[in-house]
Every structure is written in C-alpha cells, then in structure tokens.
Structure 1
Amino acid sequence: MNRAERAAEYHKKGYNCAQAIVCAFCDKAGLDEETAFKVSEGLGLGVSDTYGTCGAVTGMALIMGMANSCGDLEAPVSKADTYKKVRELNDSFRKKNGSTICRELKGMDTGKVLRSCPGCIEDAAKILSEKLGE
C-alpha cells in the first residue's frame, strides 16, 4: 500500500485530512502514529473552521518541517530551507487544485467544489511523497 492509499484508508476510518497525511508519513517525521494523530488533530477542517489552510496541506507542512528541520534549538538554521520546501509543496497543491484554502476547495461560497477532501488527501500525499524523494 502506498502512502496515498494509506492516507485514504485513515480518512475513511475517521481521521481528519491533516491526521490522514501526518499519520501516513509519521515515519518521515520520527513520530509514532499516536503522537502524529494527536499533534495534527486541530489542523483538520481548515484549522478547525474551514476558513484556513486545508488540513491535507497543513499536514504536508508539518511533515516537511519535521523531516527537514535541523532540530538545533541554539542555532535554528534550517528555517529558510524548510519555508522554501513548504512553499513548493503549497505551490504544487495550489497549481493542481486552484487553492489551498479549505472553504474555497469545498466551494462553500461559490457552490463549485474545486476538490473533495479525499481528493485533497490523495494529491497532498502524492506531492509530499515526490518531494521527499519517494
């Protein structure tokens, strides 16, 4: 089972969009699945209110930060590189779907759905896999 399929299974099981991504990639972040599940719980549904960034997109950012950070509390020199990589993830997702905003993706104001939650999860997993060199 690839990561996109694993993320889709998690979502079907009841995980939110962020949890589905973060749990599917928890090994890349050095997290156990329970911690990954807990740390990403508030990020689903557009950071819990549909007006924010899609949970699948915030899940990508969380994993990339964990995978790319130097983890040096005294000299946090990896931020710029992590920001660049997350911008690239966001750009890829936005190019594919027209937005990174939950409300816009769901078509809540326009009635035009740009991408379903399962579709967002699939796209985020594929984009993240590619960026991580899988």
Structure 2
Amino acid sequence: MGCMESTCGALIGAVMVAGILTEGRGTPAVARALVRSFEQRCGATICKELKGVSTGVPLCPCPECVRNAVLALGDVLPDAVKE
C-alpha cells in the first residue's frame, strides 16, 4: 500500500472487511476465495502488476480495483456468512 510492491490495498481492505463481517470464522478460506475472485477480475493481485509499472500497460486502474474488491466480497460473503 503506497509503494506498489505488494498486495493491492483494495484487496487487503476486502479481506479485513470479510474478517469483521464473519467475526473471524474461516478467515483464511474466505481470504483465499477473495484473492481468487479478485485476481480473476483484475488479472493480478500485486499493485505494480495491476498498474503496469514494468510493462507500461495497466491491467486494472485503482477505481476498478476497488470496485472489483467489492464485487469479490459480494461473491464470497454470502457463502462465508452461512458457515
């Protein structure tokens, strides 16, 4: 977050929200599902890859990463809350 060397901040935020909403139940499995859904939507999970730092071609701009993180939550949370 901020240095573009690690996981997208929007994805990190989504995992944190999921942990709160599920009261920590099954957080590792929920996190894995969120990462898979986000990566399918965006093409990567690492910020510099999403921004196209080395290629000059962004895979997903920040506003779309935030949108896709929210959509990933929508994909994963209904199943996680049932557990």
TM-score (norm 1): 0.54
Distance 1:52 1:61 in 2: 15
The residue identity in structure 2 corresponding to 1:48 is G
Secondary structure of the corresponding residue to residue 66 of structure 1: helix
Q: Which residue of 2 aligns with 1:61?
A: 15
Deviation for aligned residue 1:98: 1.4
Secondary structure of the corresponding residue to residue 48 of structure 1: coil
Deviation for aligned residue 1:132: 2.1
Distance 1:96 1:130 in 2: 11
Secondary structure of the corresponding residue to residue 17 of structure 2: helix
Q: Which residue of 1 aligns with 2:3?
A: 49
The list of structure 1 runs, each at least 4 consecutive aligned residues, that deviate by more than 3 angstroms after superposition, is none
For residues 95-130 of structure 1, the C-alpha deviation after alignment (integer angstroms, 9 at most, x for no partner) is 121110111000011111100101111111111123
Aligned sequence identity (%):
36
Q: Mind listing any 5+ residue stretches in structure 1 that lack a counterpart?
A: 1-46, 71-77
Specify the structure having the higher radius of gyration (Cα): 1
Query: Where do residues 1-134 of structure 1 align in structure 2 (5 Å cutoff)?
Result: 47-70=1-24, 78=25, 81-133=26-78
TM-score (norm 2): 0.84
For residues 77-109 of structure 1, the C-alpha deviation after alignment (integer angstroms, 9 at most, x for no partner) is x4xx21011100001111121110111000011
Q: Mind listing any 5+ residue stretches in structure 2 that lack a counterpart?
A: 79-83
Distance 1:82 1:61 in 2: 8
Deviation for aligned residue 1:131: 2.0
Aligned Cα RMSD in Å?
1.3
Q: Which residue of 2 aligns with 1:41?
A: none
